[in-house]
Chains A and B, each alone.
Chain A
Amino acid sequence: MNELVFFINKGIFAGAIIGSIYALGAIGVTLIFGILRFAHFAHGDMMTLGAFVAYAMAAALAAAGVTAPLPLAMMMLPVVMLVTAGMAIGIDRAFYRPLRNAGARGIVLVMASIGVTLMLQGVIRLFAGPSSREMYFNERKDIFRIEVPGANQMITLTEPQIALFIVTAIAVVALHYFLSRSRLGKAMRAVSDNPSLAQVTGISIETVVRTTWIIGGGLAALAGTMLALDVSLKPDLSFNILLPIFAATIVGGIGQPYGAIAGGFVVGYAETLAVFNWSVLLRPIARMTDGAFEVPPSLAFVPTEYKLMVPFVLLIIILIYRPTGIFKGRVL
């Protein structure tokens, strides 16, 4: 039983946690690609930016003596998302829109977004320094333990992890209703399908672009803040998860929001299960068969240090055998 609990904690929950973060990031990347036709490399740093906005707000409130039943950074999430969405629109106005209006090709915008990435990293370090920070201010990170009969280990989940599952579920359902029911959501899909026809139809491309940044920026802030709450806040927090997010986007099918969600979890689980020590699950089987075979102490597909390799292998396999991804997306 202990082995099963270990698998639930280190396999199923760990995969779902990182998968949710990837999914939230990949939705933004895929929507931006669908509408604006470029790979937004600054998305990881938009997540960090959101997390720092949350940190700053929580710090200010904590200094003012405000207390809340939930961590302040979590309580402030709606405001943080709005502020980050506003910043995303600002970045678009300052850097991407002038290029778009000048008729620049997609690759030029990709390069510009790499520039924005470096700039954001610099700005964040300038104000916050390179050190790692805690998102909790004299607050407790609650840990929930569920006892499993017949096991002395317990299923454990922390408060930010549970919150992450809840907000991811809310975000996915809200996005679904927005895209399939609302006038603006359908217009977004229309622009993604056929921008010139959308224009002929009288859909305002500017409004759709702004909406895309609001959703992308808002979800990036959500993912960044939740990740920082779960681990800790570092200036390079999300830069390291940018590449798995791109892998998730492509695995899911570029331009497909539902694909991005699926891709996020596929990549998250692939990574988690590849570094999982499968000996833990094999040992009880070996015991039951009276040691018919020997179980090595460590049996993972990939050593933990090489975890980042997994999304890439997955990405290459997808690009070779199914370039449109799980949900039929665009081909790069």
Chain B
Amino acid sequence: MNIINNLWDYRHLTLKLAISEFKLRYKNSILGFFWSLLEPLLMLLVLYVVFTNFMRVKVEHYQLFLLMGIISWNMLSRGTAMSLNSIIGKPGLVQKVYFPREVLVISSCLTALLMTLLEFIVFGFFMLIFNVMPTITIMYFPLILFIEFLLILGLSLGLAALNVYYRDMQYIWAVVLQAGFFAAPIIYPISIIPEKYVWIIMLNPMTRIIDMLRGSVIYSASPIFGDGIFILAAALIVLAAGYLIFLKLEPGFAEEM
């Protein structure tokens, strides 16, 4: 409780850092933040062409299905990748002033969240174009997104702290993300997985998160209660583990940099 109270005192700084980082991302490019929207759209285009013409995947509203998968996966990969650098990338802030170092990681995750929210706005336009209207089930969307955010935060805290001591963490993590993109049902539906392997795919909390996000926004499906408990529990466990690693390593940050 004490830790949370302490962090709450720094909410202003956390937001300030997140927003300035967000501004910086787009300040130097001519197309501004359209770049960030262009990236998932181009990815969508390529994957869409490949998977509808060659793989013959049959999914209702496949364009939206795919785009939702890409955006929610991107939030994870962007959030953790930015967090990996959030501490070693700011030696001045770590070695010359003191505030809880968690602030740096949280603000990086918030920047990733802001960028993802922009992409979801584009997603809204796509729904209009394809004439898919969300129903009341969309009210679960922010809740699921929040649970995903907790999961990302947990991973980020652990990874960012480890990266101070072992700089190859970022390369290892890049490989894990690459594999994860294909191991999670982003481009394909779970239904194409042979029955006996489904449980393995389901262990990955991102499987259920992506599935539930799609259900609530595109297919007007209420999430199953058990699934909700599963992802919440997974997110909290990862958050606790990540934070423990972070707290264990944090005292040496200024020396190790």
User: Is chain B found bound to chain A in the same assembly?
Assistant: no
